[in-house]
Structure 1
């Protein structure tokens, strides 16, 4: 995931951001929570690619599914 999300103390104080941008990962989830579409988010953050956003969502899904499986066993 190092090619998708990075945390560098020199970029937004170490806030996890999409690699090659200053767009925090949290922005994606906050905007989705506020009912913005993926297209609207990408329009508002042009340095964020659709591929990056989709990959982050897929990684989050994998993590949550794996966590749920650990809890139910």
Structure 2
């Protein structure tokens, strides 16, 4: 069952101050604020099996809350976009 509107707002709380999108930094790719580390890089590492502590070890400038904000940002972005019915090879 999807979260209610109030719950969805709570899920994204704390995301906007930790994720930045600036066309002057990395061409506007969403990054962890104050860094040039793309959210996609962090999410990709988690998707490849890195643990939270391994990502923090790889990128010591990050905090646990940065990674969690990246996950919330990615979930929210996917919730707002149309996805293809099938992936092309």
| Fold shared per TM-score above 0.5 | yes
Gaps of 5+ in 1: 66-73
Question: What runs of 5+ residues in structure 2 fail to find an aligned partner?
Answer: 1-14, 80-89
> In 1, Cα distance between the equivalents of 2:26 and 2:42?
16
Tell me how large the CA RMSD over aligned residues is. Answer: 2.3
Q: Which has the larger radius of gyration?
A: 2
Runs of 4 or more above 3 Å deviation: 58-65
Which of 40, 53, 58 matches 1:39?
53
Which structure features the higher share of helix residues?
A: 1
SS in 1 for 2:70: helix
Number of residue pairs the alignment of both structures matches: 67
What TM-score does the superposition give when structure 2 sets the normalisation length?
0.60
Q: Highest relative contact order (Cα 8 Å, sep 6+), 1 or 2? A: 2
